[in-house]
Amino acid sequence: MMVSNLAKTREMRDSKARVPNNMENPMMDDKQLTPESLVGDSLSAPTPGHSAARRRVLMVGAAGVAAAVTVRPAFAQTAASVFNCEIPVPEPVSSGQLIALDGTLVPAGTQGAFPGSTRPFTGEEVRAALQGRSLPGTTAEQGSAYMNYIRRLRAGQSGFTCYASIQVPR
């Protein structure tokens, strides 16, 4: 296994060294530009093969495709995990119960309580909400009930590790 992988590395590294400035533009079919979409595809993009041409080739890209990304501050020590982890509200074992404004779980039918979210929130959404933005797809009261639920998470509950990992201010 190691032999073949090494061979592959050499080959890829050599090909990387050959990549000319006119390497084909990253192909993206999504308007949303992420670091991954920006650079991930560029690796597999074929190198244009017209070495005879003197003039350089420019790909201006398709309409509606973003061509830039700006570096934003990343303060979390576990920056990467923040963007990946998810917090279900409530955790699956409690589905069917409602969430009261103070974040506690209450039986179905309780006045003023909200049904759980149909999808889990990402660490990034919760981190933004901690800074005062609203949770996507929620009303103000519903969002604050959900955030109170998340604040009450304890070790062992789904989402706790994620919540703990985003507890670093930006």
Partner 1 sequence: MPATQQKWLTASADRLSIVTLDALTAVYDRASGQTHLLAQPLPEILAALQSGPANAAQIAARLTADFDIADSADVPARVSECLGELLAMGLVSMR
Partner 2 sequence: MNAVNNLVAALRDPASVAALDGDGWSGLISVARAEVLLGTLAHRVADQALPPAVAALLNAARIAADQAQVHALWEAEMCARALAPLGVRFVLLKGTAYAAAGLPCAAGRQIGDLDILVPRDRLDEVEAALLGAGWEWVKDDPYDQAYYRQHMHELPPLIHGTRDRMIDVHHTILPLTARVAPDAAAMLADSSPLKGGGLYVLSPADMTIHCAAHLIADGDLAGGLRNLWDFHCLLSTFGDDAFWPALKQRAAHHQLWPATHRAARIAHHLFGTPIPLGWQGWHLSDRLFIRRLTARDGWGRETRPLTRLAFTIRAHMLRMPPLMLAKHLWAKWRTR
Partner 3 sequence: MSHMHHMRVGPVRFRVASHWAGPIAELRRLYADYPALSGEAATATARIEAARPWRRWVRPAVHIGGDYTIPDALPLPLSQGLLAAEMAMNLQVALGWRQHLLLHASSVERGGRAIIMVGASGSGKSTLAAQLGEGLGEGDWRLLGDEFAMLGLDDGQLSPFPRLISLKNEAIAAMERLVPAARLGPAITGTPKGTIRHLVPRADAIARMDERATPALLLFPTFGGEPGLRPVAPSEAFMRLTDSSTNYVALGEAGFAALTKLVRDVPAVAIGYASGEQGMAAVEALWADLRP
Residues near partner 2 (CB under 8 A): 70, 72-73, 131-134, 140, 144, 170
Site string for partner 3, 19-38 (x = CB under 8 A): ----------------x--x
18 binds partner 3 (CB under 8 A): no
Q: Is 66 in the site for partner 1 (CB under 8 A)?
A: yes
Are residues 108 and 147 in contact, defined by beta-carbon separation less than 8 angstroms? Answer: no
Please give the structure tokens belonging to residue 80.
Answer: 């990467």
38 binds partner 1 (CB under 8 A): yes
- CA atoms of 153 and 170, how far apart (whole Å): 22
Residue indicated by tokens 């119960």:
97
What phi, psi does 142 have (nearest 5°)?
-65, -45
Length of the chain: 170
Q: How would you classify the pairing of strands 105-106 and 86-87?
A: unpaired
**79 near partner 1, rule: CB under 8 A:** no
Positions in the binding site for partner 3 (CB under 8 A): 1-2, 5-6, 8-10, 12-13, 16, 35, 38-40, 42-43, 69, 71-81, 84, 130, 155-156, 160-161, 164-165, 167-169
